[in-house]
Structure 1
Amino acid sequence: MADDIEIGMLAAATYDATSGMEIADDDDADPAALRLALRYVCRSAQDAVKVAELRAERLPETPGTGPSADLLRDALAASLRKPLSGS
């Protein structure tokens, strides 16, 4: 059952990420549309982190690496600190 819930969450995250990227790629997108795109991408990341946390609860922790959710959160935070291309 948990796998089915995670599959649904990841499918929704993929849809949200795709929707966000389509809006972001639109040269005519206004600020409201870009905020919507950001919400889509943030929701996608939240869903991916939640799936990682759920899976980490079911998997034994690998010594020295920490939970999967922490690794994903750190990678996302690092990517957000990088300047956007074309900016």
Structure 2
Amino acid sequence: MPEETETLKRYRDGQKDYRLKLRFIALLLIAGNTGTEIVAAAVGKDIRTVETWYGKYLTHGPDALNSFQYQPKRCFLSDDQLADMIA
């Protein structure tokens, strides 16, 4: 596990976005045998969120947590409406 801990530390230290850095902090706490409930309280997140992060880490590795995996919503304005707003 020391090798995994070092990997998590590298990801944590290399991350500029604090929200993503928080994920690796949570995983490091879990790696240190801190329970998920305590970790969730420490990082200010719901326990389900921390469990989701941990599950993604276990199944897909640290790269799965190193970016936001969501798709932006599509714009409901037409091209003409967008052009009017920009002009």
Instruction: Please give the TM-score of this superposition, normalised by the length of structure 1.
Output: 0.31
Structure in which a larger fraction of residues adopt helix: 1
Instruction: Please give the TM-score of this superposition, normalised by the length of structure 2.
Output: 0.31
**Which structure exhibits the higher relative contact order, with contacts defined as CA atoms closer than 8 Å and separated by 6 or more residues?**
1
